[in-house]
Amino acid sequence: MILGLVAICAPIGDSCLARGMTAMPTITLAHPGSLIAAVFTPWIALGIALLIGFFASYLTALSWADLTFVLPATALGNVVIALLARFWLQEAISLERWAGIALITLGVGFVAQGPSRTEHPAPEAEKDAEQEVEA
């Protein structure tokens, strides 16, 4: 469930940001007021809320799994973002990008086969303490 939120919230949030920004005039850092105004437009506000949801679910996932397990789950977002960009935002996606997305998906499949948490051997002091407790 949490990894699903990680994989879905970021691409949908980014797509909402992109949709909102296409309706905005060009924004520069020389005019920070336009940037602040953009934050309060509906699509951009929704995108920010979804990205906050992504961050919360990402932190949750990192509390119980290794980064090398969680980060590839975010790579599945590349598939979602490509589909959203193509069919919702009407962006053209080259064959090379589709091939890259397929390779990423294949790589995620390999990583997902491993354990979510790396098991580390207990230090000698902990082993000795455990043996004393058992005795």
Number of domains in the chain: 1
For the segment 4-53, what is each residue's pLDDT rounded down to a tens digit?
898 899 999 999 999 999 988 888 888 888 888 899 999 999 999 999 99
pLDDT of 127 above 70: no
Reference 6, options 88, 87, 65, 46; nearest CA is 65
E strands, the chain, in order: none
pLDDT band at residue 91 under the 50/70/90 scheme: very high
Residue with tokens 């879905």: 8
CA angle, residues 6, 10, 13, in degrees to nearest 5: 140
Q: What is the mean pLDDT of the chain?
A: 86
Q: Distance between CA atoms of 69 and 5, rounded to whole angstroms? A: 15
Q: What is the pLDDT of residue 70?
A: 85
Reference 50, options 81, 21, 12, 76; nearest CA is 12
pTM: 0.76
Tokens of 91: 């962006």
Task: Provide the domain limits for residue 56.
Answer: 2-134
